[in-house]
Amino acid sequence: MILNAITPDISWTAPWNVLQQLCHLWRRFGIGIDPRDRLYISGAQLQEAGLALDYDVFHLLIETDFTALLWAKAIDPAAVSPEALSAPGGQYEISMVFDPQAIAPLIATLLGSHIDFPQLKALRKKILPQRSAIPPDLMVGLLEIVRSPSIQETVPEEAVVPNQPLNMLLSQRLEQEKILNNVTHRIYQNQDLMVTVRMALEQAQRLLRVDRLLVYQLDLPTADPERFVNRVTFEVVSSEKVSSLLHFDQDECLTNNQLIKDAYLKGKHLAVNDIETQPNLSPCFKQQLQGMQVKAKLVVPLIVEQRLWGLLIAHQCHSPRRWRKNEVTFLSHVAEYLAIAILQARSYQQLREQKTSLETLAQQRARELEDALLSAQVASQSKKEFIHIMSHELLTPLTSIIGLSNTLSYWTADENPKKLSPEKQRVYLQTIHESGTRLRNLLQDILDFSQTEAARSVLDLQKFSLKQLCYRVLNGFQELGDRQGISLKFINQLEPEQDSFYADPIRLEKILSHLLSNAIKFTSHGGEVTFSLWREQQQDVIFQVKDTGIGIPPQQIPLLFEQFQQLEPSMSRRYDGAGFGLALVKQLVEIHQGQIHVTSTPKKGSIFTVRIPNQVPRNLHPVGKGSVGGNQGGTIVLVSQDEEMATLICELLTATNYQVIWLIDSEIASRQISALQPILVILDAHQHKIQIEDIIDSLKMAPQTQQIPTLLTGDRLNDDQWQKLQKRGFQDYLPKPIHSEKLIDMVNHYVTRHYLANTL
């Protein structure tokens, strides 16, 4: 078995007694240990099994965390005999290697041989570690041996680490292990990422003695959600004489070179010993390094979750530097450990965000439950008061009707000699008529209220005269106002061309009747009620009812339009009314897509202002910018398995007056879309690629769905990917994270196009 292909980490010439100490150290670490924990293979075992060795000494240690290979050959060929090995004397070329990747070919050779012994069976089950974390006891033992005065240090020109004493090599290796162990400890302790990275950079910079050590992070987000930058986020310099590159973000050489990024992603490193003599160094990189006063450069990748997160870069600024293998290996190990720390910090951040989100959601749900319970209690009490008031409102006119009708029957009976005067009879009949009218109006209000509450009310849009409507309503209250000594005043500010209006005149009349009735009811004798009317251009109409009545306390104004809500139950004994008239008014205003506003001052009066938009039928409404979308509404189907994103889209589009139907099962989405016939479909690329392609293909093949605009949302796509999706039938693409304004603008745009295509 030949070991020439293995490049040793340490190689030097030493006498026989030193070799024996090293062999004893390897045996001490290998003999007596369970092979399942630590595997030890010696040259003697291999020779007994029939495998010929070209070396006099061979010791191999393999454990879960480290590998260590020791081999040696006598300089004097006569020393090859077993007798020479057991007797003191002679010089040996001793080599050691700790890199698992360097030992891997040797392991493959052993496994491919036909020899059979127990250690080889155990070796087949061993998995080599990614790097060798040499146990401190083994490292200390090595240092004690190599620092012995009896060692003759000779380092040949072709040595791996020329002009460096052996004890310095081992000391460096021990320091490297300490640094990596410190990083490991901080990762396990879940230390702050910035502190961990800073500590690792500072210790690595001191050990490697580089002028500058930095972390160059890739694809950092900016204020523009579509723009990302590369930037230096961590840096350690050897002295103030070395200029700082912290926050540097002008690396077009890397940004525009995908081949270099791909190489880094595969785990490749870049070692530039001298930028002036380095072959194949692009002019862009050379010019950039010269501007940074860099003479030599070592770059290793930071790979997190199989993505190139960033680069760990060492700079030598004052002179060129030949980067040694052990330095490259150490910096690569530092990058691997930092990648673990970054991944853990990211996971903990996500966990904290989820925890905060869940806590916020739990608090919100708790508040909602408390509010719901309170609302239920208030509603229950309000309903009791409502039933009490309704009983009073129904019984009062019924009592009048029954009592007065009985009185009339009694006094007008033939057998009764005494008769009521005609004047008295007219008064009784008038009271019966008013009570019946009051009952009819009350029952009609209840019916209207129940219809609007159940959302069964449909507007009967007609073109009518606003002035005639207002005069008709006002004339209906003129007699009541005169009887109570209240002045009714009408202010018409309409221009002649503003008189025509589209709305439901019956419901508008009911709105105005309730407002005027309340104004008269709560205004004392000698007061005034002013009814005003005006238009804003040719669109909204404004009705305003102003009184000089008792007014409303500020704290009770929010309760005015609540259903089953009485501002002050004691008032029901002073003023007639069921107490839900304003709730009905608010509902009637809202089904017109209008608004109602109230201002009031106690003991001075109230002002109710109603704004109603012109309800022009759609077939008469010119389609233009803003005529569809949020104002027109419509059904949109969202197919997504991403709950967080789907919730955001549903909330945004629902607030814009769209009806959003969220489908989770993508396998049956095509059939459901065909049945729903939406105005727009949004597909989330979070689903499996095949499912997305199946959905879009089925939609574009079916005649009833092929004209429906289809949008895609997901991670960023390159031009080739998007062109392929466009050919399948997608109209547009919205990258994640979702930008609310862009989403709404894009949806409105395609809804408008769809609307125009189906109406022209």
**590 touches 434 (CB < 8 A):** no
What mean pLDDT is predicted for residues 61-67? Answer: 82
Same fold, 180-351 and 625-759: no
The CATH architecture to which 180-351 belongs is 2-Layer Sandwich (3.30)
Q: What are 384's two structure tokens?
A: 């009791």
DSSP symbol at 595: E
Look at 195 and 528; give whichever has higher pLDDT. Answer: 528
Amino acid identity of residue 197, one-letter, is V
- 76: pLDDT confidence band, cut at 50, 70 and 90? low
Q: Check whether 546 has a pLDDT greater than 90.
A: yes
Q: Give the per-residue pLDDT at 211.
A: 93
Look at 717 and 429; give whichever has higher pLDDT. Answer: 429
Provide CB contacts within 8 A for 511, sequence distance 6+.
543, 585, 588, 589, 610
- 110: pLDDT confidence band, cut at 50, 70 and 90? confident
Look at 543 and 340; give whichever has higher pLDDT. Answer: 543
- 597: pLDDT confidence band, cut at 50, 70 and 90? very high
Tell me the Ramachandran region of residue 263: left when phi exceeds 0, alpha when psi lies from -120 to 50, beta otherwise: alpha
Distance CA 268, CA 279 (A): 17
Amino acid identity of residue 722, one-letter, is W
> Which tens digits make up the pLDDT trace of 666-676?
778 888 888 88
Q: Is 457-619 CATH 3.30.565.10? A: yes
What's the predicted TM-score (pTM) here? 0.39
Q: Give the per-residue pLDDT at 388.
A: 65
How many helices, marked H, and strands, marked E, lie in the chain? 21, 22
Q: Check whether 452 has a pLDDT greater than 60.
A: no
> Which tens digits make up the pLDDT trace of 749-760?
888 887 777 655
Q: Give the per-residue pLDDT at 154.
A: 42
Q: Check whether 84 has a pLDDT greater than 80.
A: no
What mean pLDDT is predicted for residues 207-218? Answer: 91
- 34: pLDDT confidence band, cut at 50, 70 and 90? low
**558 touches 596 (CB < 8 A):** no
Average pLDDT, the chain: 80
Q: Give the per-residue pLDDT at 625.
A: 33
Look at 711 and 14; give whichever has higher pLDDT. Answer: 711
> Which tens digits make up the pLDDT trace of 466-475?
999 999 999 9
- 542: pLDDT confidence band, cut at 50, 70 and 90? very high
| Residue indicated by tokens 């292909």 | 5
Question: What is the residue extent of each domain of the chain?
Answer: 10-163, 180-351, 457-619, 625-759
Q: What are 158's two structure tokens?
A: 């072709």
Look at 27 and 544; give whichever has higher pLDDT. Answer: 544
> Which tens digits make up the pLDDT trace of 140-181?
778 777 666 555 444 343 433 333 445 555 566 667 777 777
- 600: pLDDT confidence band, cut at 50, 70 and 90? very high
**316 touches 211 (CB < 8 A):** yes
Torsion of CA 7, 316, 262, 687, to 10 degrees: 110
Distance CA 255, CA 261 (A): 8
Q: Which of 75, 69, 91 is nearest to 5 (CA)?
A: 69
DSSP symbol at 497: G
Torsion of CA 395, 401, 404, 410, to 10 degrees: -110
Please count the CA atoms within 13 angstroms of the CA of 692 that sit on its side-chain side: 22
> Which tens digits make up the pLDDT trace of 667-704?
788 888 888 888 999 998 876 666 788 888 888 888 88
**131 touches 333 (CB < 8 A):** yes
Q: Check whether 456 has a pLDDT greater than 70.
A: no
CATH of domain 625-759: 3.40.50.2300
Q: Check whether 639 has a pLDDT greater than 60.
A: yes
**232 touches 214 (CB < 8 A):** yes
